[in-house]
Structure 1
């Protein structure tokens, strides 16, 4: 008998793995809110919040990497609480601020249970990897959820018996709805413009009706919304004040911070869904554009990242019939085939 292929949209394995590490009803801290424009990280955050809600976990403390305060967390989270840290592709030294937060948390709370939500591992420096894993392994109550087999093997070697292989946290959102608006373009090419950008992704061919965009919301870029930037600035200022002068925090302020975070993440995800839905076919080299397209049931072609993050994820969790994975140079040839269907 052959085993069934993995279902890329299944949420049960993620819920079960989370529940095995965070007991139902336990209060939690949820750390590393993405106070920056990456839509994929907002989807991860909303998925984490959905996991917590389904498991009956009340979020007692939350912070982004700059506003985190060990003293603030101690005041807000009961002794029996679990510290949960946002997952994603920033485990390693490419995006150091986020991984440094993980290291601070395990150092600040050696006696508390800590759970990292599903991550992919990418260290550019072997020395940095060795140092970091030594620090993490010293925490006896740390568990790491990992979203691809290669990363899982790496983490399991350092933390034997303390890993869980699961889908990305964004899949906890389940099926998404893009609404009934007709696509405005044949193709939306959502292509990275950050440090993970792939020079091998070709420019779109002439004559193709294509909207080229990234979802980092920078001035001058298609879809830029200054309201997002104003909200980010206000939350950054509030966080910096509370870290410097925690005594001025009013009672119940954490519920207000969480509400602001949730509203911002929902708005970002809704904007990202509108972007993806504006094309008949999506072309992308972003893992979360792929995952969100899967949740939307939209046809898309995804080009693998240089370090194999996307192909590793697909090999681990499968892909739906709406998805085609190709090498970067083949992106628009595959798009043409999708448009001809």
Structure 2
């Protein structure tokens, strides 16, 4: 993709995400971030960098940043807006994150604004849906951003304020990277959202945390170490540096390829904002196709969505000839 096409795409999506995020941030000044992604998922860390870019550009003051394990509602006596990090899914696919959100909605004072940053919706059963409806969905002063039309319809009538918002990563803008050195890079899920046959051996997934990062993560979860949780959680710049380091590791995985083949939503979005051509294969909850259908219909994007990994491989090989 030539630079001018990249910039038009990046600029158009950035404009869309800012306009929609402005809606759910009406009247907001100070923010306390909760559920920071203190794990190896590059996509979640990329989302946080987009969220951070938006908050800084719009002049929102970040009072504190908490991972899921570092937040104690009993010690948070402020009234700044609680912004729950976006990404992932409501429901039982990732129950610990859902449990955290639902408990937060019940512990926060009723007049305190909670913003759920842009999110996908995938309830695994009626029990899951009921838990959402009885907690976060029923709470006053809660604003929920969803990333695709299917999610918007799914929450219709079940929560007071829900807004269709692109993924916050678009706020990060153009991503600089090294020039390509090979034809194709495959970045493929190895988790419960993968739609690939078990044992499919081509490609890699996001790199796992190294030994030192895993040790630091454990210490933070236990509230001990050279930077106790009470101090680290009030250092937004420390969390930002950590997210950027993990994100850059993901960029370095994708950068060698002129073409990126992936079934990860954020590998797709990151590669597009790097100026790469992408061949996308849907995951098992249709997160990629739902997103593409919602936001890319009116854009020129070097992106092809295919039905299978075999088709993606054939297409990538054909275009190398």
* Alpha-carbon separation, structure 2, partners of 1:277 and 1:34: 23
Cα distance change of structure 1 residues 266 and 56 upon mapping to structure 2, 3 Å threshold:
same
SS at match of 1:88: coil
* Alpha-carbon separation, structure 1, partners of 2:196 and 2:20: 37
Q: Which residue of 1 aligns with 2:276?
A: 298
CA deviation string 1:71-111 (max 9, x = no partner): 3332xx4x3x2111011123221111111111111111132
On the 8 A contact 1:281/1:300 being kept in 2, the answer is yes
Cα distance change of structure 1 residues 24 and 53 upon mapping to structure 2, 3 Å threshold:
farther
SS at match of 1:83: strand
Q: Which residue of 2 aligns with 1:29?
A: 32
Kindly report which structure 2 residues correspond to 1:194-273, keeping only aligned pairs within 5 A, or say none.
194-200=191-197, 203=200, 212-217=203-208, 226=210, 229-241=211-223, 249=230, 253-256=232-235, 258-273=236-251
On the 8 A contact 1:190/1:282 being kept in 2, the answer is yes
Q: Which residue of 2 aligns with 1:94?
A: 93
Q: Is residue 20 of structure 1 aligned with residue 23 of structure 2? A: yes
SS at match of 1:116: strand
* Alpha-carbon separation, structure 2, partners of 1:260 and 1:164: 30
Match of 1:337 among 304, 318, 321: 318
SS at match of 1:187: strand
CA shift, 1:65, in A, is 1.3
Match of 1:307 among 285, 301, 310: 285
CA shift, 1:317, in A, is 0.5
Q: Is residue 191 of structure 1 aligned with residue 188 of structure 2? A: yes
CA shift, 1:48, in A, is 0.9
RMSD (CA atoms): 2.4
Cα distance change of structure 1 residues 320 and 200 upon mapping to structure 2, 3 Å threshold:
farther
On the 8 A contact 2:187/2:203 being kept in 1, the answer is yes
Q: Which residue of 2 aligns with 1:170?
A: 169
Cα distance change of structure 1 residues 282 and 169 upon mapping to structure 2, 3 Å threshold:
same
Q: What's the TM-score, normalizing by structure 2?
A: 0.88
Kindly report which structure 2 residues correspond to 1:104-119, keeping only aligned pairs within 5 A, or say none.
104-109=103-108, 110-119=110-119
Q: Which residue of 2 aligns with 1:69?
A: 72
* Alpha-carbon separation, structure 2, partners of 1:249 and 1:94: 30
Q: Is residue 326 of structure 1 aligned with residue 311 of structure 2? A: no
* Alpha-carbon separation, structure 1, partners of 2:205 and 2:132: 31
Q: Which residue of 2 aligns with 1:222?
A: none
Cα distance change of structure 1 residues 165 and 46 upon mapping to structure 2, 3 Å threshold:
same
Cα distance change of structure 1 residues 32 and 201 upon mapping to structure 2, 3 Å threshold:
same
Q: Which residue of 2 aligns with 1:207?
A: none
CA shift, 1:159, in A, is 1.2
* Alpha-carbon separation, structure 1, partners of 2:15 and 2:196: 37
| Structure 2 gap ranges (5+) | 1-7
Q: Which range is displaced more, 128-137 or 33-42?
A: 128-137
CA shift, 1:233, in A, is 2.7
Tell me how many residue pairs correspond in the alignment: 306
Q: Which residue of 2 aligns with 1:281?
A: 259
CA deviation string 1:106-133 (max 9, x = no partner): 1111321101011111122222112222
Q: What's the TM-score, normalizing by structure 1?
A: 0.83
SS at match of 2:74: helix
